Amino acid sequence: MAYFRIEYYSNALHRSTSFEMLIPNDYRLDLPMQNASPIPKKPMGTLFLLHGYTGKAGNWVPEELAAKYNFAIVMPTAENSFYMNGAATGSAYQSMVGEELVDYVRRTCGLARSAADTGIAGMSMGGFGAVHLALAYPEVFGKAAGLSSAFVTRGIAGMKPGADNGMANYEYYRACFGDLDKVLESEGNPEWQVKQLKAAGKKLPDLYLCCGTEDFLIEPNRAMHRFLEEEGVPHEYHEGPGIHDMVFWTEYIQKIVRWMFE
Protein backbone atom coordinates (compact mmCIF):
# COMPACT_ATOMS: atom_id res chain seq x y z
CA MET A 1 0.00 0.00 0.00
CA ALA A 2 1.85 3.08 -1.24
CA TYR A 3 1.36 6.24 0.77
CA PHE A 4 1.46 9.67 -0.87
CA ARG A 5 1.66 13.06 0.77
CA ILE A 6 1.10 15.70 -1.87
CA GLU A 7 1.40 19.47 -1.67
CA TYR A 8 -0.08 21.42 -4.54
CA TYR A 9 -1.35 24.86 -5.34
CA SER A 10 -5.10 24.99 -4.87
CA ASN A 11 -6.86 27.58 -6.97
CA ALA A 12 -9.98 26.98 -4.90
CA LEU A 13 -8.14 27.95 -1.71
CA HIS A 14 -5.79 30.51 -3.27
CA ARG A 15 -2.85 28.84 -1.60
CA SER A 16 -0.79 25.71 -1.29
CA THR A 17 -2.44 22.87 0.52
CA SER A 18 -1.76 19.18 0.96
CA PHE A 19 -3.60 15.92 0.96
CA GLU A 20 -2.78 12.28 1.53
CA MET A 21 -3.48 9.34 -0.70
CA LEU A 22 -3.11 5.59 -0.47
CA ILE A 23 -2.72 3.59 -3.66
CA PRO A 24 -2.56 -0.21 -3.55
CA ASN A 25 -0.15 -0.51 -6.46
CA ASP A 26 3.20 -1.47 -4.89
CA TYR A 27 2.84 -5.22 -5.22
CA ARG A 28 5.04 -7.37 -3.05
CA LEU A 29 6.58 -10.05 -5.18
CA ASP A 30 7.34 -12.16 -2.11
CA LEU A 31 3.68 -12.50 -1.13
CA PRO A 32 2.23 -14.82 -3.76
CA MET A 33 -1.43 -14.02 -3.24
CA GLN A 34 -0.96 -10.32 -3.87
CA ASN A 35 1.08 -11.12 -6.91
CA ALA A 36 -1.67 -13.02 -8.69
CA SER A 37 -2.70 -10.09 -10.87
CA PRO A 38 -0.32 -7.26 -10.16
CA ILE A 39 -1.60 -4.93 -12.87
CA PRO A 40 -5.38 -4.63 -12.77
CA LYS A 41 -7.02 -4.52 -16.16
CA LYS A 42 -9.26 -1.55 -15.47
CA PRO A 43 -8.54 1.87 -13.99
CA MET A 44 -8.49 2.00 -10.24
CA GLY A 45 -11.50 3.35 -8.37
CA THR A 46 -11.31 6.07 -5.74
CA LEU A 47 -12.66 6.61 -2.26
CA PHE A 48 -12.60 10.17 -0.99
CA LEU A 49 -12.42 9.91 2.79
CA LEU A 50 -13.33 13.02 4.74
CA HIS A 51 -12.19 13.96 8.24
CA GLY A 52 -14.33 15.52 10.92
CA TYR A 53 -14.43 18.81 12.80
CA THR A 54 -11.09 19.38 14.58
CA GLY A 55 -9.69 16.47 12.55
CA LYS A 56 -7.25 15.95 9.76
CA ALA A 57 -6.44 13.55 6.97
CA GLY A 58 -6.36 10.45 9.01
CA ASN A 59 -5.70 6.89 9.75
CA TRP A 60 -9.13 5.25 10.03
CA VAL A 61 -8.36 3.86 6.67
CA PRO A 62 -9.62 0.54 5.27
CA GLU A 63 -6.24 -0.37 3.77
CA GLU A 64 -6.84 -4.05 3.31
CA LEU A 65 -10.11 -3.55 1.49
CA ALA A 66 -8.48 -0.99 -0.80
CA ALA A 67 -6.04 -3.65 -1.96
CA LYS A 68 -8.79 -6.23 -2.26
CA TYR A 69 -11.17 -4.07 -4.28
CA ASN A 70 -8.55 -2.05 -6.16
CA PHE A 71 -9.31 1.52 -5.18
CA ALA A 72 -7.21 4.46 -4.08
CA ILE A 73 -8.07 6.45 -0.96
CA VAL A 74 -7.81 10.23 -1.14
CA MET A 75 -7.81 12.12 2.15
CA PRO A 76 -8.22 15.87 1.72
CA THR A 77 -7.39 18.40 4.37
CA ALA A 78 -10.32 20.76 4.67
CA GLU A 79 -9.81 22.42 8.03
CA ASN A 80 -13.13 23.08 9.78
CA SER A 81 -14.85 24.16 6.58
CA PHE A 82 -17.83 21.78 6.53
CA TYR A 83 -16.75 21.18 2.92
CA MET A 84 -18.69 24.27 1.89
CA ASN A 85 -17.85 27.11 -0.44
CA GLY A 86 -17.54 30.08 1.88
CA ALA A 87 -18.08 33.56 0.54
CA ALA A 88 -14.57 34.77 1.34
CA THR A 89 -11.82 34.59 -1.26
CA GLY A 90 -9.99 31.29 -0.94
CA SER A 91 -12.71 29.47 1.01
CA ALA A 92 -14.03 27.24 -1.77
CA TYR A 93 -13.66 23.91 -0.01
CA GLN A 94 -16.60 22.37 -1.83
CA SER A 95 -14.96 23.12 -5.17
CA MET A 96 -11.57 22.12 -3.84
CA VAL A 97 -12.69 18.58 -3.06
CA GLY A 98 -15.49 17.99 -5.55
CA GLU A 99 -13.91 19.60 -8.61
CA GLU A 100 -10.25 20.44 -8.22
CA LEU A 101 -9.02 17.43 -6.29
CA VAL A 102 -11.15 14.98 -8.22
CA ASP A 103 -9.68 16.33 -11.43
CA TYR A 104 -6.15 16.45 -10.04
CA VAL A 105 -5.92 12.88 -8.82
CA ARG A 106 -7.62 11.52 -11.91
CA ARG A 107 -5.34 13.24 -14.38
CA THR A 108 -2.19 12.78 -12.29
CA CYS A 109 -2.69 9.15 -11.30
CA GLY A 110 -4.96 7.80 -14.01
CA LEU A 111 -7.80 6.92 -11.64
CA ALA A 112 -11.17 5.86 -13.00
CA ARG A 113 -13.34 8.74 -14.16
CA SER A 114 -16.79 7.21 -13.80
CA ALA A 115 -19.16 7.95 -10.93
CA ALA A 116 -19.63 4.21 -10.48
CA ASP A 117 -15.97 3.94 -9.50
CA THR A 118 -15.91 7.00 -7.28
CA GLY A 119 -17.16 6.94 -3.72
CA ILE A 120 -17.08 9.47 -0.91
CA ALA A 121 -17.41 8.86 2.80
CA GLY A 122 -16.73 10.71 5.97
CA MET A 123 -17.49 10.86 9.65
CA SER A 124 -19.13 13.63 11.67
CA MET A 125 -18.46 16.90 9.79
CA GLY A 126 -17.03 14.67 7.08
CA GLY A 127 -20.27 12.71 6.97
CA PHE A 128 -22.10 15.93 6.26
CA GLY A 129 -19.41 16.68 3.69
CA ALA A 130 -19.75 13.34 1.95
CA VAL A 131 -23.51 13.67 1.58
CA HIS A 132 -23.32 17.35 0.67
CA LEU A 133 -20.60 16.88 -1.95
CA ALA A 134 -22.26 13.89 -3.57
CA LEU A 135 -25.49 15.87 -3.86
CA ALA A 136 -23.57 18.84 -5.27
CA TYR A 137 -21.70 16.64 -7.77
CA PRO A 138 -23.88 13.58 -8.45
CA GLU A 139 -22.14 13.07 -11.79
CA VAL A 140 -18.82 12.71 -9.94
CA PHE A 141 -19.66 10.65 -6.87
CA GLY A 142 -21.77 7.60 -7.52
CA LYS A 143 -21.97 6.56 -3.88
CA ALA A 144 -21.79 8.54 -0.68
CA ALA A 145 -21.71 7.46 2.94
CA GLY A 146 -22.16 9.57 6.03
CA LEU A 147 -21.08 8.08 9.35
CA SER A 148 -22.49 9.87 12.39
CA SER A 149 -23.03 12.81 10.10
CA ALA A 150 -23.13 16.32 11.51
CA PHE A 151 -26.39 17.40 9.88
CA VAL A 152 -26.25 20.80 11.51
CA THR A 153 -28.18 22.92 9.06
CA ARG A 154 -31.46 23.02 10.92
CA GLY A 155 -29.66 23.75 14.14
CA ILE A 156 -27.89 26.82 12.84
CA ALA A 157 -30.70 28.24 10.69
CA GLY A 158 -31.50 31.70 11.90
CA MET A 159 -28.56 31.87 14.29
CA LYS A 160 -27.87 35.44 15.31
CA PRO A 161 -24.65 37.47 15.58
CA GLY A 162 -22.99 36.93 18.93
CA ALA A 163 -24.48 33.47 19.39
CA ASP A 164 -22.47 30.35 20.07
CA ASN A 165 -23.84 26.81 20.17
CA GLY A 166 -21.00 25.33 22.16
CA MET A 167 -19.21 23.96 19.17
CA ALA A 168 -18.65 27.22 17.31
CA ASN A 169 -19.94 30.75 17.05
CA TYR A 170 -22.09 32.73 14.63
CA GLU A 171 -19.12 34.11 12.70
CA TYR A 172 -17.83 30.60 12.11
CA TYR A 173 -21.10 29.28 10.70
CA ARG A 174 -21.57 32.42 8.64
CA ALA A 175 -18.10 31.97 7.14
CA CYS A 176 -18.90 28.36 6.23
CA PHE A 177 -22.57 28.54 5.28
CA GLY A 178 -23.22 32.16 4.32
CA ASP A 179 -26.41 33.95 5.32
CA LEU A 180 -27.82 31.85 8.17
CA ASP A 181 -31.29 33.27 7.67
CA LYS A 182 -31.36 31.66 4.23
CA VAL A 183 -29.41 28.51 4.88
CA LEU A 184 -32.40 26.16 4.69
CA GLU A 185 -32.87 27.11 1.06
CA SER A 186 -29.25 26.83 0.10
CA GLU A 187 -26.56 24.33 -0.86
CA GLY A 188 -25.71 24.15 2.83
CA ASN A 189 -28.86 22.11 3.38
CA PRO A 190 -28.67 18.53 2.04
CA GLU A 191 -32.47 18.30 2.15
CA TRP A 192 -32.71 21.28 -0.16
CA GLN A 193 -30.06 19.71 -2.40
CA VAL A 194 -32.14 16.53 -2.66
CA LYS A 195 -35.24 18.49 -3.61
CA GLN A 196 -33.35 20.46 -6.25
CA LEU A 197 -31.99 17.29 -7.85
CA LYS A 198 -35.40 15.70 -7.86
CA ALA A 199 -36.99 18.80 -9.33
CA ALA A 200 -34.39 18.80 -12.09
CA GLY A 201 -35.02 15.14 -12.77
CA LYS A 202 -31.42 14.26 -12.04
CA LYS A 203 -30.11 10.99 -10.73
CA LEU A 204 -29.20 11.06 -7.07
CA PRO A 205 -26.07 9.34 -5.77
CA ASP A 206 -26.54 6.13 -3.83
CA LEU A 207 -26.63 7.03 -0.14
CA TYR A 208 -25.63 5.18 3.00
CA LEU A 209 -26.23 6.71 6.42
CA CYS A 210 -25.34 5.22 9.78
CA CYS A 211 -25.09 6.38 13.37
CA GLY A 212 -24.56 4.92 16.82
CA THR A 213 -27.63 4.81 18.99
CA GLU A 214 -25.80 6.58 21.80
CA ASP A 215 -24.25 9.19 19.52
CA PHE A 216 -25.19 12.77 20.39
CA LEU A 217 -25.97 13.21 16.69
CA ILE A 218 -28.49 10.37 16.48
CA GLU A 219 -31.55 12.61 16.18
CA PRO A 220 -30.38 14.67 13.19
CA ASN A 221 -29.48 11.39 11.48
CA ARG A 222 -32.91 9.93 12.17
CA ALA A 223 -34.44 13.11 10.85
CA MET A 224 -32.47 12.83 7.63
CA HIS A 225 -33.52 9.21 7.31
CA ARG A 226 -37.18 10.16 7.71
CA PHE A 227 -36.78 12.98 5.19
CA LEU A 228 -35.32 10.63 2.60
CA GLU A 229 -38.11 8.14 3.19
CA GLU A 230 -40.74 10.84 2.82
CA GLU A 231 -39.11 11.99 -0.40
CA GLY A 232 -39.00 8.43 -1.68
CA VAL A 233 -35.24 8.46 -2.00
CA PRO A 234 -33.86 4.90 -1.76
CA HIS A 235 -30.99 4.73 0.71
CA GLU A 236 -29.25 2.55 3.25
CA TYR A 237 -29.80 3.52 6.86
CA HIS A 238 -28.26 1.71 9.79
CA GLU A 239 -28.11 2.24 13.51
CA GLY A 240 -25.96 0.23 15.82
CA PRO A 241 -24.64 0.30 19.35
CA GLY A 242 -22.04 2.99 19.73
CA ILE A 243 -21.13 6.57 20.45
CA HIS A 244 -19.39 9.27 18.42
CA ASP A 245 -16.03 7.57 18.23
CA MET A 246 -13.52 5.62 16.20
CA VAL A 247 -14.82 2.26 17.39
CA PHE A 248 -18.09 2.82 15.56
CA TRP A 249 -16.45 4.35 12.48
CA THR A 250 -13.84 1.63 12.14
CA GLU A 251 -16.59 -1.00 12.17
CA TYR A 252 -18.89 0.75 9.72
CA ILE A 253 -16.28 1.91 7.21
CA GLN A 254 -15.70 -1.78 6.50
CA LYS A 255 -19.38 -2.31 5.73
CA ILE A 256 -19.48 0.85 3.65
CA VAL A 257 -16.47 -0.03 1.55
CA ARG A 258 -18.04 -3.38 0.72
CA TRP A 259 -21.28 -1.64 -0.16
CA MET A 260 -19.39 0.72 -2.44
CA PHE A 261 -16.85 -1.45 -4.18
CA GLU A 262 -17.79 -5.11 -3.83
Decide: helix, strand or coil at residue 226: helix
String marking each residue 98-127 x if it binds its own copies according to CB under 8 A: ------x--xxxx-----------------
Find out whether 156 and 183 touch, Cβ atoms under 8 Å. Answer: yes
Rounded CA separation 130/123 (Å)? 8
Binding footprint of its own copies, residue count (CB under 8 A): 49
The minimum distance between CB 91 and its own copies, in angstroms, equals 8
The minimum distance between CB 129 and its own copies, in angstroms, equals 14
Q: Does 171 bind its own copies (CB under 8 A)?
A: yes
The CA-based angle 111-81-23, given to 5 degrees, is: 20
Q: Does 4 bind its own copies (CB under 8 A)?
A: yes
The minimum distance between CB 244 and its own copies, in angstroms, equals 13
The minimum distance between CB 170 and its own copies, in angstroms, equals 8
Find out whether 60 and 67 touch, Cβ atoms under 8 Å. Answer: no
Region near its own copies per CB under 8 A, out of 83-91, 133-141, 188-196, 249-257: 83-91
DSSP character string of 9-32? EETTTTEEEEEEEEE-----TTST
Q: Does 69 bind its own copies (CB under 8 A)?
A: no
Which neighbouring-strand residues pair with 74? 21, 48
Rounded CA separation 56/79 (Å)? 7
DSSP 8-state code for residue 237: E
CB closer to its own copies, 123 vs 224: 123
- Where does this chain bind its own copies (CB under 8 A)? 1-11, 13-16, 23, 25-30, 39, 53-56, 59, 79-80, 86-91, 104, 107-110, 164, 167-169, 171-172, 174-175
